[in-house]
Structure 1
Amino acid sequence: MRADARKNRDHLLAVAGTAIAEQGVDVALRDIARRADVGLATLLRHFPTREALLDALLRTGFDELTAQACALETSSTPGDALVSWLRDAVAWTTRYRGATALMAAAIQDTESALHASCVALRAAGARLLTRAQAADVARNDIDGADLFALVAMLAWLGDQPALAPRADRLFDVVSGAVLQSTTTP
């Protein structure tokens, strides 16, 4: 891709990210183009469908969270790594209103453009969870699919205006429950 085309694509993604954070994943593509100061045809040349735009935007974040999980595996204690990643995954997902439903659908739909990134994200979280379980700092009765569902649940909670004020406290409750060791004293 030419440097100017890459710059335009990156600008469109940045503007789309802001628009989706403000208005949700159903924001009109025409509004995104207008905010980016380009025509709709230019936006559609880079991203021919809404799903293509959302895929590019969300995949970048999923890939960053996956890479972060890999880094945390070697730089933090198992419990700290798991909670840090979980907090960042929830915060990132909450930033893009409506992304939770897309993630939940994409993990099940092998034809979705987001499927591979969601599977990689779930696997990254599962590795952190398994590591914490092996260190006996996380409960053993949950798995990576449960952790992925918890990310979606906590992000959904933060996406609801009436419930958002409780999101941080409930994150602490849930992460505390995940980190509860199953060893009896």
Structure 2
Amino acid sequence: MPEGPLRADAQRNRARILDTAEAVFAEAGPRASTEEVARRAGVAIGTVFRHFPTKNDLLAAIMKRLLARLVEEAGRHDLFAFFTYMVAQAAEKKTVVDLLAGSGVDIRLPEAVGHLSEAVGALLDQAKNAGTVSDQLELPEVTALLVSVCQGALHGGWDGELRTRTLNVVFAGMRSRT
């Protein structure tokens, strides 16, 4: 993709391609093609490849955008509500995450993941200051719990009731004992 700011029409095309790609991959999984993304986005295949030279570039852009949305959401919630939101998102975005895991591609987004970690750390600090979580709870433990429960939601076939019960157990362990 060319460096520098995109024209307004190019920005709209890029956003439409990403929106469409999320839906196409969620529906078709690894079988999804960039040609189908282009067709459903109403753009030429060359437009898709101009923005995302490979399918893996498209997948990386989807993940980067998902992580950015999570960081935004962190600013709207407390720690427990955000934890619940993340687990729900993991279950909802299952196909895209599975596709990435099975693609054999090593997609690294350290900056985006770092922003998410910072956001979760800020929520943890707020919860500690409010006395709603144990002072002994640290970011690595919260991250491990979050990743574990998200993995359970991804692969465990969890329904809403099981997810709620599981989160209640995790949250009981995180809460302050005072």
Band of TM-score, shorter chain: 0.7 to 0.9
Which residue type is aligned with residue 90 of structure 1? V
The structural deviation recorded for 1:174 is 1.6
Aligned to 1:123: 118
Aligned to 1:176: 172
Deviations 1:149-173 (A, max 9, x none): 333222222222x532222321232
Instruction: Answer whether contact 2:24 2:37 (CA < 8 A) is retained.
Output: yes
2:81 equivalent to 1:84? yes
Consecutive unaligned residues of structure 1, counting only runs of 5 or more, are: 73-80, 104-108
Aligned to 1:137: 132
Instruction: Name the CA distance, whole Å, in 2 between partners of 1:39 and 1:128.
Output: 43
Say if 1:130 and 1:163 are closer, same or farther in 2 by CA, change over 3 A: same
The structural deviation recorded for 1:125 is 0.7
Consecutive unaligned residues of structure 2, counting only runs of 5 or more, are: 1-5
Superposition pairs for residues 44-55 of structure 1, below 5 Å? 44-55=49-60
Say if 1:23 and 1:122 are closer, same or farther in 2 by CA, change over 3 A: farther
Say if 1:175 and 1:99 are closer, same or farther in 2 by CA, change over 3 A: farther
Identical aligned residues as a percent = 28
Instruction: Name the CA distance, whole Å, in 1 between partners of 2:134 and 2:27.
Output: 36
Q: Alignment partner for residue 48 of structure 2, among 39, 43, 46?
A: 43
Q: Alignment partner for residue 94 of structure 1, among 82, 91, 94?
A: 91
TM-score (norm 2): 0.75
Instruction: Name the CA distance, whole Å, in 1 between partners of 2:99 and 2:118.
Output: 19
2:60 equivalent to 1:19? no
The structural deviation recorded for 1:138 is 0.8
Instruction: Name the CA distance, whole Å, in 2 between partners of 1:171 and 1:22.
Output: 28
Say if 1:23 and 1:142 are closer, same or farther in 2 by CA, change over 3 A: farther
DSSP-derived class of the 2:75 partner: helix
| Aligned alpha-carbon RMSD (Å) | 2.9
